[in-house]
């Protein structure tokens, strides 16, 4: 192989050369203009002198020309001789004949003859410069006129320009010397400056990064970095890197453990260890079991949403108390006077403690501040947040009520409190104000936006202080942790420790960590299996006229962040692009109405219904519809059957913290026969990279993904699904809870902040 020779100039030299050459060129151009100007001035001066001489000699020449040649020569005497730069003068008759001339002029007779001929022919003076083999001349030929104005002859004045040329050359040499001197000095100065200010500090930074990689770097980057932001960003980068390495090491340790799968029993044992005799409390807005009235009778439902899906199995495994808003119409009726009841009702393992709120409080705190304010604030789905002072007051009051109820349930003993989500941001601080000894963690189930987005909330600093009451703050993704720390950094006076991802506020330390949430295996839930499942699927196919169509399914709360309009449009586009699938394939959307007291949510349902109707009307046949939009509450058993029935699962969130439906779909495919289409804007996309990842706003790409999913070869489907299942099985909800609790309980609780309440 031929070796290529490559030559690299060192950076400071390159920079020095560049600057020196540019400035050298600039000064060179200026010098050139200056030399030229002076040369022009010299020539003008020469013209002026020649004219003065010609003027002085005009009269004597006029008189002499009236005489015959011999007398005229005598009359001129030595008047025509030259001195210094003047070579001499010469006088001619109108026919061009020479009358008399200085001695030096004779050598240039030919040059003068032409100029004199031209002057007499045109009747006007000639001024010119002329180069001969060994001279450089300036000549003026002036017409001599009789008093009546008639031409009488011509007078030539001849100067030597060699002196002028010498001066110009001398100037060029002088300028050349100074330009060279300046360029060289600049080169040296720039090189030294570039080396001192950039090269040396950046080389030190590179060395520090290398050491960081090998593990023996100093905590902070070198202090002399040329740009202050480079120092702070390197600092953060190093902190993220260290955090990632620690997480990776922890993960690696976990993988080494033979029993890699977390189960309900294993979690139970682990929680007993973590709690050391204390109690486990969960505080959330949404309750895991809700009693609605149906035909005047209480009916139990399990609310839709990731929070319940994730935490109910944890509480079922570990026992404890779940404090939540009793929002069902028949909730009071089904609980005791304190608002308590044992759940799950058919096989109780833990206590649900319902908190009662008035309609007004619920409106302000839940619908208003939490869901018209914080929800759109944290999701980048182009919905404008609404903040009202009255809603905020209800939010503060409701959070205080939840905290007080949790403290009541904790009694006087030790307890670990897991606060859930954006509806409860102030609860950690309220808890700690009364019970600093409690171990308090909060898990934020939705994305945390960047500081620019979050700071528009008028009560952003209060929310941050509320959250920073917790000992541990969890998000799904590292990116959300980074955004949170950045927001704290910009908005309140607190000490940030980027190395350990921690914030110290008034002496209390909160650690910030990613805990990607997950699901439990369907085999641990009360769903149908075997022949019963087959029958259930057949019933559903019959009820919804699905026959033996190939099916894709979506399961969502009807929320504008879930990208349902984008999904419907992609399905319509798919049928336009691939008409051969009409009558072969149908998309089923299970949609649970959600937050319907908020106009935006009500309108969204209507909008979706109209869109589905429109698409169906355009494409449907007598026995087939492209979209089945099933609005209503679907229990876990039905959802499971739909997930099993469908060969494609579609999740197209415009922005989502995690999205557990994606993981539920994977968990529902023990036969590995299914393809997941997943939005790149859902947190789950980081873990489920074997899904067909789409941008839900890109209808063409989305429609193409549906075609690809339908036509994917069985082996590829199985390989992708097997990898995703391994991921979901190993990182299930029990592991999530185990990590969260271990992290919360293994570090001693620091002193809580007690001043300034929200
Ligand atoms: O995950 C976000 C979340 O808002 C949870 O807090 C909640 O339980 C779920 O979605 C469903 O929302 P909601 O409780 O408002 O119906």
Each residue of 675-712: pLDDT tens digit?
999 999 999 999 999 999 999 999 999 999 999 999 99
Contacts of 664 (CB under 8 A, 6+ apart): 309, 519, 522, 555, 639, 643
pLDDT at 1: 39
Q: Nearest CA to 646 among 668, 624, 678, 630?
A: 668
Q: Nearest CA to 308 among 328, 322, 329?
A: 322
Mean pLDDT across the stretch 647-658?
Answer: 98
Per-residue pLDDT band for 3 (boundaries 50, 70, 90) equals very low
The yes-or-no verdict on residue 91 having pLDDT over 70 is yes
The yes-or-no verdict on residue 4 having pLDDT over 60 is no
Q: Give the position, in ligand 1's atom list, of the atom nearest the Cα of 421.
A: 6
Q: What is the dihedral of CA 432, 741, 723, 712, to 10 degrees?
A: -30
Per-residue pLDDT band for 249 (boundaries 50, 70, 90) equals low
pLDDT at 251: 52
pLDDT at 757: 44
- Is residue 708 helix, strand or coil? helix
Beta bridge mates, 259 = none
For residue 711, is it left (φ>0), alpha (ψ between -120 and 50) or beta?
A: alpha
Q: Give the position, in ligand 1's atom list, of the atom nearest the Cα of 308.
A: 8
Ranges 36-45, 484-493, 727-736: which has the least confidence: 36-45
Q: Give the position, in ligand 1's atom list, of the atom nearest the Cα of 420.
A: 6
Mean pLDDT across the stretch 548-574?
Answer: 98
Q: Which residue has the higher pLDDT, 457 or 95?
A: 457
Residue having the nearest C-alpha atom to atom 9 of ligand 1: 305
pLDDT at 259: 62
Average pLDDT of the chain, as a whole number: 91
The yes-or-no verdict on residue 230 having pLDDT over 60 is yes
Bridge pairing between strands 415-420 and 350-355 = unpaired
pLDDT at 15: 79
Residues above pLDDT 70, as percent of the chain: 94
Would you say the CB of residue 561 lies under 6 angstroms from ligand 1? Answer: no
State the pTM of this model: 0.70
What's the 308 CA to ligand 1 centre distance in angstroms? 8
Per-residue pLDDT band for 188 (boundaries 50, 70, 90) equals confident
- Is residue 179 helix, strand or coil? helix
State the Cα–Cα distance between residues 563 and 64, nearest whole angstrom: 110
pLDDT at 257: 46
Q: Tokens representing 24?
A: 């050298």
What's the 457 CA to ligand 1 centre distance in angstroms? 20
Residue having the nearest C-alpha atom to atom 15 of ligand 1: 595
**Helix residue spans in 435-578 (DSSP H):** 451-454, 460-467, 478-491, 530-543, 564-577
pLDDT at 708: 98
Long-range pairs for 505-509: beta carbons < 8 A, 24 or more residues apart: 505/465, 505/468, 505/753, 506/753, 506/754, 506/755, 506/756, 507/750, 507/751, 507/753, 508/432, 508/468, 508/469, 508/750, 508/751, 508/752, 508/753, 509/471, 509/750
Would you say the CB of residue 286 lies under 6 angstroms from ligand 1? Answer: yes
The yes-or-no verdict on residue 258 having pLDDT over 70 is no
pLDDT at 7: 57
Mean pLDDT across the stretch 574-578?
Answer: 98
Would you say the CB of residue 306 lies under 6 angstroms from ligand 1? Answer: yes
pLDDT at 250: 53
Residues above pLDDT 90, as percent of the chain: 67
Would you say the CB of residue 307 lies under 6 angstroms from ligand 1? Answer: yes
The yes-or-no verdict on residue 141 having pLDDT over 90 is yes
What's the 88 CA to ligand 1 centre distance in angstroms? 109
Per-residue pLDDT band for 191 (boundaries 50, 70, 90) equals confident
Mean pLDDT across the stretch 471-475?
Answer: 98
């Amino acid at each position: 192989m031929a070796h290529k020779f490559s030559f690299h100039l060192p950076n400071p030299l390159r920079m020095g050369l560049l600057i020196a050459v540019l400035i050298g060129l600039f000064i060179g151009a200026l010098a050139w203009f200056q030399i030229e100007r002076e040369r022009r001035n010299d020539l003008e001066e020469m013209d002026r002198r020649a004219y003065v001489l010609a003027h002085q000699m005009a009269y004597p020449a006029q008189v002499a020309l009236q005489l015959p040649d011999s007398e005229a020569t005598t009359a001129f005497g030595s008047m025509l001789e030259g001195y210094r730069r003047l070579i001499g003068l010469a006088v001619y008759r109108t026919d061009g004949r020479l009358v008399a001339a200085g001695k030096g002029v004779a050598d240039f007779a030919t040059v003068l003859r032409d100029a004199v001929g031209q002057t007499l022919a045109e009747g006007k003076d000639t001024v010119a410069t002329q180069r001969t083999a060994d001279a450089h001349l300036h000549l003026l030929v002036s017409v001599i006129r009789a008093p009546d104005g008639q031409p009488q002859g011509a007078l030539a004045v001849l100067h030597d320009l060699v002196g002028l040329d010498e001066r110009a050359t001398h100037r060029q040499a002088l300028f050349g010397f100074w330009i060279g001197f300046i360029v060289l000095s600049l080169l040296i100065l720039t090189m030294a400056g570039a080396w001192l200010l950039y090269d040396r500090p950046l080389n030190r930074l590179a060395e520090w990064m290398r050491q960081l990689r090998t593990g023996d770097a100093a905590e902070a980057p070198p202090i002399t970095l040329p740009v202050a932001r480079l120092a702070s960003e390197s600092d953060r980068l190093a902190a993220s890197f260290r955090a990632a390495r620690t997480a990776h090491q922890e993960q690696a340790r976990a993988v080494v453990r033979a029993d890699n799968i977390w189960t309900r029993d294993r979690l139970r044992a682990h929680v007993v260890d973590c709690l050391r005799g204390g109690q486990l409390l969960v505080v959330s807005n949404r309750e895991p079991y809700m009693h609605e009235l149906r035909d005047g009778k209480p009916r139990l439902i399990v609310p839709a949403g990731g929070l319940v899906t994730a935490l109910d199995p944890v509480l079922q495994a570990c026992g404890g108390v779940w404090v939540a808003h009793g929002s069902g119409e028949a909730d009071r009726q089904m609980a005791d006077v304190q608002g308590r009841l044992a759940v799950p009702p058919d096989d109780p393992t833990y206590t649900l403690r319902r908190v009662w709120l008035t309609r007004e409080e619920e409106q302000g705190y839940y619908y208003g501040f939490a869901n018209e304010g914080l929800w759109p604030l944290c999701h980048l789905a182009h919905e404008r947040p609404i903040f009202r002072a009255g809603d905020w007051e209800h939010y503060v009051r409701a959070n205080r009520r939840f905290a007080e109820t949790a403290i009541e349930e904790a009694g006087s003993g030790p307890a670990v409190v897991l606060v859930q989500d954006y509806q409860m941001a102030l609860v950690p601080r309220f808890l700690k104000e009364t019970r600093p000894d409690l171990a308090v963690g909060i898990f934020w189930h939705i994305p945390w936006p960047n500081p620019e987005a979050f700071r528009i909330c008028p009560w952003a600093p209060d929310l941050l202080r509320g959250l920073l009451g917790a000992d541990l703050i969890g998000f799904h993704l590292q990116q959300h942790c980074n955004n949170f720390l950045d927001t704290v950094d910009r908005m309140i006076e607190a000490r940030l420790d980027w190395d350990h991802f921690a914030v110290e506020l008034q002496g209390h330390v909160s650690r910030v960590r990613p805990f990607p949430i997950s699901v439990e295996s369907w085999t641990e839930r009360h769903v149908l299996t075997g022949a019963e499942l087959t029958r259930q699927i057949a019933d559903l196919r019959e009820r919804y006229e699905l026959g033996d169509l190939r099916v894709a399914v979506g399961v969502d709360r009807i929320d504008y962040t879930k990208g349902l309009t984008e999904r419907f449009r992609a399905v319509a586009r798919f049928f336009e692009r691939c008409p051969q699938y009409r009558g072969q394939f149908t998309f089923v959307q299970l949609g649970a109405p959600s937050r319907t007291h908020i106009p935006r949510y009500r309108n969204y349902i209507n909008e979706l219904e109209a869109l589905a109707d429109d698409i169906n009307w355009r494409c449907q046949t007598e026995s087939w519809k492209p979209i089945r939009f099933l609005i209503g509450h679907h229990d876990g058993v039905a959802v499971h059957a739909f997930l099993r029935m469908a060969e494609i699962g579609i999740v197209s969130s415009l922005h989502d913290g995690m999205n557990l439906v994606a993981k539920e779909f994977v968990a529902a495919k023990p036969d590995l026969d299914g393809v997941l289409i997943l939005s790149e804007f859902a947190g789950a996309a980081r873990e489920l990279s074997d899904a067909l990842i789409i941008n839900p706003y890109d209808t063409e790409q989305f429609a193409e993904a549906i075609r690809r999913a339908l036509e994917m070869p069985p082996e590829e489907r199985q390989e992708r699904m097997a990898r995703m299942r391994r991921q979901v099985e190993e990182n299930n909800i029990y592991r999530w809870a185990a990590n969260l609790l271990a992290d919360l309980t293994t570090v001693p609780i620091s002193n809580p902040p007690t001043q300034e309440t929200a």
